[in-house]
């Protein structure tokens, strides 16, 4: 199928190295579009504790190879290779990596390998509007004040998710009723809008909360690109059709698209998937 030409693709919270990273869907998303700019808006890796496959080179008779479980799976490495290829001159694509709270200590190591330029925040112009991309953890006061508690809770939640579809209803219940998560969605959006106004930006794009959404704060438009760490991934595009938030499951192409400028929804094709968004 022909690729859709857009100006910018924004993806956040991929979490390479996590069991929940959906690198296969990420590759499908990247292959759907032709873009001038790819913004990786934070938490591209899960953390610095990366493990690789380890094999014993010389085996005794009857001895089996020893294999160590590794975090960067083959699909993760394939997606990283694809991103690296985008930065080649013939693709005319700028790859921007906004450092997230999980990327600290690793962004500057891996950025040169995938041809990305690392920023704390990034500004550009689109259709006469000043755009600002920043991960969003800067506006999550609870996360900064209770780092260990949030990290432990996140780990426990990810373990629960790893049990697969049977655990999704409980995950959804916990997520929607977790006071910190619900509070973070609002505080990040509000903090981002204040920051955009201070910086003179019209649009501000964040990640961090894993909750894709669009909100208006006066003249400021706030967008969150959601996450690639799910069975339904979300991302943001900027192009001839404006700013859009997409939900994608790989089997039904786009199952939901939001025209963020008008808050209209369309292309709902899978009730089963829609219930799990």
Asked, for residue 172, whether it belongs to a domain, the answer is no
Residue 155 domain-assigned? no
Asked if residue 170 belongs to a domain, the reply is no
Does 238 fall in a domain?
A: yes
> Where do runs of H (alpha helix) occur along the chain?
23-32, 74-86, 107-114, 141-145, 147-161, 168-177, 179-199, 271-274
How far apart, in Å, are the Cα atoms of 130 and each of 118, 200, 219, 258? 20, 8, 12, 21
pLDDT number for residue 107: 81
The CATH number of whichever domain residue 128 belongs to comes to: 3.60.21.10
DSSP letter at 19 equals: T
- pTM for this model (two decimals): 0.78
- Domain with 130, as residue range(s), is 4-53+68-149+179-274
174, part of any domain: no
Separation CA 44–CA 21 (nearest Å): 10
Residue pLDDT tens, the chain, 277 long: 789 999 999 999 999 988 778 999 999 999 999 999 999 999 998 876 665 545 555 666 766 665 555 578 889 999 999 999 998 888 889 999 999 988 877 887 778 888 899 999 999 999 999 999 999 999 986 555 545 555 655 656 556 656 655 655 655 555 555 545 567 788 999 999 999 999 999 999 999 988 899 999 999 999 999 999 877 899 999 999 999 999 988 664 555 566 644 443 333 322 222 222 2
Q: State how far the Cα of 138 lies from the Cα of 143, in Å rounded to an integer.
A: 9
Residue 20 domain-assigned (yes or no): yes
Tally of structural domains, the chain: 1
In this prediction, residue 18 carries a pLDDT of 82
- Asked if residue 173 is part of any domain, the answer here is no
Contact 205, 225 (CB under 8 A): yes
- Asked if residues 185 and 199 have their Cβ atoms less than 8 Å apart, the reply is no
pLDDT reported for residue 277: 22
pLDDT for residue 93: 94
Any domain includes 162: no
Res 68: pLDDT: 53
């Amino acid at each position: 199928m022909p690729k859709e030409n857009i100006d910018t693709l924004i993806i956040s919270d991929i979490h390479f190295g996590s069991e929940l990273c959906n690198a296969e869907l990420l590759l499908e998303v990247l292959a759907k579009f032709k873009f001038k700019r790819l913004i990786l808006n934070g938490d591209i890796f899960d953390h610095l504790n990366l493990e690789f496959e380890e094999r014993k080179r010389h085996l005794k008779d009857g001895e089996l190879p020893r294999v160590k479980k590794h975090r960067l799976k083959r699909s993760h490495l394939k997606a990283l290779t694809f991103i690296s290829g985008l930065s080649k001159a013939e693709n005319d694509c700028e790859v921007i990596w906004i450092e997230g709270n999980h990327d600290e200590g690793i962004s500057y190591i891996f950025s040169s390998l995938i041809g990305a330029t690392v920023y704390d925040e990034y500004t550009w112009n689109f259709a006469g509007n000043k755009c600002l991309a920043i991960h969003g953890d800067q506006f999550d006061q609870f996360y900064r004040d209770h780092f260990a508690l949030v990290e432990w809770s996140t780990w426990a939640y990810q373990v629960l998710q790893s049990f697969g579809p049977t655990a999704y209803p409980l995950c959804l219940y916990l997520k929607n009723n977790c006071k910190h998560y619900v509070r973070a969605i609002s505080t990040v959006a509000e903090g981002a809008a204040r920051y955009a106004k201070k910086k003179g930006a019209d649009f501000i794009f964040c990640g961090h909360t894993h909750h894709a959404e669009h909100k208006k704060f006066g003249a400021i438009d706030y967008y969150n690109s959601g996450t690639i760490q799910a069975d339904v991934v979300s991302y943001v595009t900027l192009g001839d059709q404006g700013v859009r938030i997409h939900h994608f499951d790989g089997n039904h192409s786009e199952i939901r698209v939001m025209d963020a400028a008008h808050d209209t929804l369309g292309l709902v094709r899978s009730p089963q998937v829609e219930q799990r968004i």
